Amino acid sequence: MSSLFPTFARYPITLVKGKGSRLWDDQGKEYLDFMTGIAVTSLGHVPERVKNALVSQLDQLWHVSNLFYNPNQEKAAKLLTDNSCADAVFFCNSGAEANEAAIKLARRYHQKVLGNGRYEIITFTRSFHGRTLATLTATGQDKVKEGFLPLPEGFVHVPLNDLAALEAAVNDKTAAIMLELIQAEGGVHEVDPAFLRAVRELCDRQGLLLIVDEIQTGMGRTGKMFAYEHYGIEPDIFTLAKGIGSGFPVGAMLAKAPLIPAFTAGSHGSTFSGTPIATAAVAATIETMLLEQAPERAAASGELLIGKLKEALNGLPNVVEVRGKGLLVGIECAGPVADIVAALQHRGLLVITAGPNVLRLLPNLLVTAEEIEEAVAIIAAVLSEQAAALSAKQ
């Protein structure tokens, strides 16, 4: 009998060791990891450079609070601003906290810097922004809200890629529009680039802030360091977590210069914000990503993976579509995929789902062509077997 809350539906596997793209369970069985702990271990398991940075920081200093200067935090922030459109960074400990910080910054900018009292944030159906009360309210899926009423005020949802609905939702209380550029948890749905450009123009015209949730799409995942780089737009605020620390829990909220005065001393904070250890992990992760050209490799490997999947799954009646960008890839199936995930695990391949009918593949950004071939062969075998079993039943 476990002493934990049963919040997580766990697979019957206990993983005890990892290296690169491989994981091992307590029975000694080896797995090829195409889920990276939900887009977190983007440099593979126990990446050497990040491990060394963590080990040497563990020997020096763990925590002093943000009442003192912290060189690792400055270094990690500078790496982020040097490599993005942002001018300032606030570190936190998770994606939900990064989005909370973004929502707070947007409200405070309007209320304290501009003095216009705006507070409403428009988000999109099928989106996912986290599990705190504000971020689950921002999330465009009812399942995360059940039993948590009352929800905080100030969030409005419209369908993605529907400009008329978005324009109709803007009013004199609107502070910001917030979106994922690829809805990952929601089923691997990419924003329409023309819609995104129209959203940017709408924000400029109406004085709204554009918040991009890059928690899953950022840090090289889609083939650019940040997904917004694909679309020729820049957000005013964006958020990171998941892949930013190679598995060390850390998040970040980044914004452009005009937003900086909104977060005055004491207006926002967190005890653990960017500890020496957390920011050692962030700095080493970014340095390794730049050195290894991880985003470029993710772009090339993503093309290979999507191409091979399309080829291998072509004509299977149980496969609806293969889609994605970089190494954020979805395989939409004709029915629920829970059994498929289990069958893949049985054959030594770990993947996750994105909604009931979509398999989500999130290999590390340094995955090799051989590993991609291996994964595609296993997926094709399992989906072909399912197709054969389904047709035998009819």
Active centre residues (catalytic): 128, 213, 242
User: Which range touches ligand PLP (CB under 6 A), out of 56-64, 128-136, 190-198, 284-292?
Assistant: 128-136
Contact status, residue 244 vs residue 252, Cβ threshold 8 Å: yes
| Residues in region 134-193 near ligand PLP by CB under 6 A | 180, 184-185
Extract the tokens encoding 60. 């020096």
> Which of 31, 91, 124, 128 is the binder for ligand PLP (CB under 6 A)?
128
Which of 84, 216, 246, 285 is close enough to bind ligand PLP by CB under 6 A? 216
Question: Among residues 241 and 289, whose Cβ is nearest to ligand PLP?
Answer: 241
Q: In the numeric block, which tokens belong to residue 339? A: 């059994």
Residue bearing tokens 């490799």: 297
DSSP 328-368: EEEEEESS--HHHHHHHHHTTEE-EESSTTEEEE---TT--
Q: How far is the CB of 352 from ligand PLP (least distance, A)?
A: 11
Q: Which stretch binds ligand PLP (CB under 6 A): 42-50, 83-91, 213-221, 290-298?
A: 213-221
Q: Please report how close the Cβ of residue 278 comes to ligand PLP at its closest, in angstroms.
A: 13
Please name which of 250, 238, 209, 241 lies closest in space to residue 108, comparing C-alpha atoms: 209
Residues 6+ apart with CB under 8 A from 174: 118, 120, 121, 122, 206, 208
Rounded to a whole number of angstroms, the minimum distance from the CB of residue 351 to ligand PLP is: 16
Which one among 33, 190, 213, 236 touches ligand PLP, defined by CB under 6 A? Answer: 213
Contact 187, 323 (CB under 8 A): no
Q: Determine the Cα–Cα distance for residues 281 and 121; give it in Å rounded to an integer.
A: 32
262-298 in b/e form (b: 16+ CB < 10 A) is bbeeeebebebbbbbbbbbbbbbbbbbbeebebbebb
- Selected from 196, 215, 289, 309, the binder of ligand PLP by CB under 6 A is 215
Site for ligand PLP in 26-85 (CB under 6 A): none
The residue from 20, 47, 130, 247 that contacts ligand PLP (CB under 6 A) is 130
Q: Which of residues 276-315 bind ligand PLP (CB under 6 A)?
A: none
Considering the complex, state which of residue 184 and residue 322 has its C-beta at the smaller distance from ligand PLP: 184
Q: Shortest approach of ligand PLP to residue 212 CB, angstroms? A: 10
For residue 269, which amino acid is it? G
What's 242's DSSP letter? G
Cβ neighbours of residue 232 closer than 8 Å, sequence gap 6 or more: 197
Instruction: Decide the pairing of beta strands 30-33 and 349-350.
Output: parallel
CA gap 304, 369 in Å, rounded? 8
Q: Which two tokens stand for residue 391?
A: 């047709």
Q: Does 256 bind ligand PLP (CB under 6 A)?
A: no
Rank residues 49 and 131 by Cβ distance to ligand PLP and give the closer one: 131
> Applying CB under 6 A, what is the total number of residues that bind ligand PLP?
15
The single residue among 54, 233, 240, 241 that binds ligand PLP, judged by CB under 6 A, is: 241
Kindly indicate which of the ranges 61-69, 125-133, 154-162, 309-317 contains the residues binding ligand PLP, using the contact rule CB under 6 A. 125-133
Residue nearest to ligand PLP (CB): 95
Q: How far is the CB of 97 from ligand PLP (least distance, A)?
A: 7
Interface stretch with ligand PLP, choices 60-68, 147-155, 168-176, 209-217 (CB under 6 A): 209-217
Beta carbon nearer to ligand PLP, 240 or 331? 240
Beta strands in 165-294 (DSSP E): 174-179, 182-183, 189-190, 209-213, 237-240, 251-255
Binding site for ligand PLP (CB under 6 A): 94-96, 99, 128-130, 180, 184-185, 213, 215-216, 241-242
